[in-house]
Amino acid sequence: MTRFVLLCLLALISTAAAKGKGFGPGEQDYGYADVRDGAHMFWWLFHTTANVTNSSERPLMMWLQGGPGASSCGYGNFEILGPLDLNLEPRESTWVKDFNVLFVDNPVGSGYSYVDRLSSLTTDNKQIARDLVSLMKSFYEKLPQFKTTPFYVYGQSYGGKMAIEFARMLYDEVAQGNIQSNISGVAMGNSWISPVDSTLSWGPLLYEMSLVDEGGLEAINRQANYTKQVFDQGQFAQSTSEWARTQNVVFQKTDGVDFYNVINKVERGFLRSGRTIMEKAFDVQTITKHYSSRADSLDTLMNGPVKEALGIPSNVRWGSQSNSVFNYLNVDFMKPVTSVVESLLNETNINVHVYNGNVDLICSTPGQMVWINKLKSEATTIFQTALRRTIWVNNTMEGYEKHGGKFALFWINVAGHSAPIENTAATRHILKSMTGF
């Protein structure tokens, strides 16, 4: 074999090996788990860059995006907490500095996850949770060193609804000896836990912030109460449609307020963009004057260099929000999971945290307080009489916190729906409170 041929062969081997290293800096693992027949879920792990001998010495954090149908590997990673931002610049506030971060495109059909047939899409929260348990079984088989690592599940928006059900089911599977996992905590950020309570909060919050007048308040409340009426009658699919109509009233009465951060400025003409109300309401991009360019940039990134680096099948096209995933869950969409929160507090040793940005509308803090105050557990009884403390970071008031045993609530100042990127100082405090790091 000539020296030239040998060098060429070594170059080919080196190139092939590099393709398994992921996209961006640091040690990574990723792949698909066949969670059901015809259902393929994609996960992407960034090992921590903390100064440790083995990455498994630091906690494992799972991030679940909302929607339902939004991509954790795209939006959660590049827009919120991954090692690189959308401009592929190092993110100073990345969680990877302190933790191992596992992004999951969930439910199947979101992001890089895909199904062989539409009938394999999920239709309720319990099926989503079962898929996630199946994914973790596959994950631990590939990376067994994390079986004893403290595992925390963080879910934003609808991701919080999925996270709470998944944490409960995973705990039960561990107790039954079906999986080994050190599930230690779950956090719900600006989450869709009790949808009716959130929807009813919109009018009063907008009125108190002078974003609607009395006529606007009356119109929003009328439609929100009708949404509740339809839900109480058990017409769950229709209640999702009425929820969307409530949002339409809000858009009309505010001339297009940003549902994710009500103090954001909004570009004129957004409501005439040709997208449906549901797409506008739960699209993963913040509605700013840079809305279109940022969405296009993420799409180009995920369907170009990232897709190639991760070896995603050519027939899979990444999308920031899957309408099919959303539509298949329309019956389950407005159903609360407050009973699951109660069961975690009453029947497990899992820490349960709630955090909320104070200028979010879609999952507003007043709406969260309604369902939290209804919870019946020893932890929330302690919580009700506990002292609310101020979160001070570098002499700046970043929010407030209140603890009741294994339950805690964090109010985050000057932050909307994506609180972890809008107030990184408060987020670091929350992470330390949950994990000790």
8 A C-beta contact, residue 288 and residue 267: yes
Which residues touch 308 (CB under 8 Å, ≥6 apart)?
Answer: none
Neighbours of 53 (CB within 10 A): 6
The DSSP bridge partners found for residue 396 are 393
Q: Can you say whether residue 395 is alpha, beta or left, with left for phi > 0 and alpha for psi between -120 and 50 degrees?
A: left
First and final CA of the chain: distance in angstroms? 54
8 A C-beta contact, residue 322 and residue 69: yes
Distance of CA 81 to the CA centre of its chain: 11
Residue 152 is inside which H or E element, if any?
Answer: strand 150-156
Catalytic residue positions, numbered: 157, 360, 417
The answer to whether the bond into 107 is cis (omega within 30° of 0) is yes
One DSSP character per residue, 181-216 reads -EEEEEEEES--SSHHHHHHHHHHHHHHTTSS-HHH
8 A C-beta contact, residue 153 and residue 167: yes
| Residues 263, 210: Cα–Cα separation, whole Å | 11
| Residues 236, 240: Cα–Cα separation, whole Å | 7
